[in-house]
Amino acid sequence: MSAPFEERSGVVPCGTPWGRWYQTLEEVFIEVRVPPGTRAKDVRCSLRSRHIALAVCGQELLQGKLFDSTVTDEGTWTLEDRQLIRIVLMKTNRDAGNCWTSLLENEYAADPWVQDQMQRKLTLERFQRENPGFDFSGAEISGNYSKGGPDFSSLEK
């Protein structure tokens, strides 16, 4: 069985002081570095539709209004190897045109080059879903790909 498209095509991460975040058509992933030996009971994480709060050992690491809405009861967090917290948020709007430009409304914005690469990846991911028999993992995209690329849904088949 082949790996999902986002795994084959790689991720386009946006670095932050505490770790990084990246996205697919459906999800936003947040990876937060924490002190080695951190235990789950040291972590306080609140995930709501438009808000996130993360504290470790009483120290706030991440808090604010998310760039866009998420499905509250599908958000999860895990502590990996007692040194990395991985948060997965399910986007409410799951089309290629919904490329988050920042994690929070006014913080952790992707620089213009990273934003461009994120949008290209989401557009390729959309093309893969629309054409499941083709492998787009090594594809390059150019031209009009902003807002998810051209819409071919109105064309006759």
Tell me how far apart the alpha carbons of residues 32 and 89 are, in angstroms, rounded to a whole number.
14
- The pLDDT confidence band at residue 120, using thresholds 50, 70 and 90, is confident
pTM of the predicted protein model? 0.83
Count how many residues are written for the chain.
157
Q: Report pLDDT for 135.
A: 78
Q: Percent of the chain scored above 70 by pLDDT? A: 83
117 closest CA partner among 105, 90, 99 = 99
What's the mean pLDDT in 139-153?
65
E-state strands within 13-121 = 14-15, 19-23, 27-33, 43-47, 51-56, 59-65, 76-80, 84-90, 102-104, 107-109
What's the mean pLDDT in 24-47?
96
Q: Is pLDDT at 63 greater than 60 in this prediction? A: yes
What's the mean pLDDT in 33-59?
97
Residue 18: DSSP 8-state? S
CATH number for the segment(s) 5-130: 2.60.40.790
Distant-in-sequence contacts of 34-43, Cβ < 8 A, 24+ apart: 34/61, 34/79, 34/83, 34/84, 34/85, 35/83, 36/82, 36/83, 37/82, 37/83, 38/79, 38/82, 38/83, 38/85, 39/79, 39/82, 40/79, 43/77, 43/79, 43/85
Domain extents for the chain?
Answer: 5-130
pLDDT tens digits for range 82-117 = 999 999 999 999 887 789 999 999 999 999 999 888
